[in-house]
Amino acid sequence: MNKQTDLKSYTTGNFKPGSNPVSRLIWYFTNVLFFINPLNPSSGLKKFLLRLFGAKIGKGVVIKPNVNIKYPWKLKIGDYTWIGEKAWIDNLDEVIIGSNCCISQGAMLLCGNHNYRHPGFTLITDKIVLEDGAWVGAHAVVCPGVICSSHSVLTVNSVATRKLEAYTIYQGNPAQAVKNRIIQ
């Protein structure tokens, strides 16, 4: 490999943003003005803008103020899902959120990490899936490649580094199963 190739892999690895530079620039300012901006409480406008940029958004979705979404064209949200204030969907890869999910305040869905084994810390990405009824608690983190199975719960300040089983409550860093979720 030559130095120029090494420099490219140093910064991006196999990452592809999935849209052209002009669309990414327009989205950047749209995200700042209408999503990250805490003065815009309108979920309807946010859903319209997300769809305009290629997101698949179900009915009854609520997106609170001050939410940061990296790439809407890599986002799918089912029906009646709630995204709380200051949530960050850093979807460098696909994020699929089912119906009746909750992403609480300050939660982060992080699709990227860096390869600590590579001298250039190349970017590694993987998708995140929240199946129907999953709940990501306030300030919790979901790492790349994680599946939060149906009705699983990741509690406040916990970190999911591997698959969360259905109807199970997880806590800690790394998150461990602590009990079953019983829905009555």
Least confident range of 5-9, 18-22, 144-148, 167-171: 5-9
This prediction's pTM: 0.89
Query: Based on the structure, what is the number of domains in the chain?
Result: 1
Residue spans of alpha helices (H) in the chain:
3-12, 21-31, 43-52
- Rounded CA gap, 93 and 73, in Å? 10
> Is residue 105 included in any domain, yes or no?
yes
- Most confident of the following: 3-7, 13-17, 25-29, 121-125: 25-29
Q: Is residue 8, in this structure, part of any structural domain at all?
A: no
Give residue 13's pLDDT.
60
Q: Is 167 among the domain residues?
A: yes
Q: What's the confidence (pLDDT) of residue 4?
A: 43
User: pLDDT band at 148, cuts 50/70/90?
Assistant: very high
Whether 67 maps to a domain, the answer reads: yes
Please tell me the total number of residues recorded for the chain in this structure.
184
CATH number for the domain that contains residue 22: 2.160.10.10
Does position 106 have pLDDT exceeding 90, yes or no? yes
- Asked whether residue 9 is domain-assigned, the answer is no
Question: Residue 2: inside a domain, yes or no?
Answer: no
Burial grade of 117 (CB within 10 A; 0-12, 13-18, 19 or more): exposed
Residue 3 lies in a domain: no
Contact 94, 41 (CB under 8 A): no
What is the domain range of residue 130?
A: 16-180
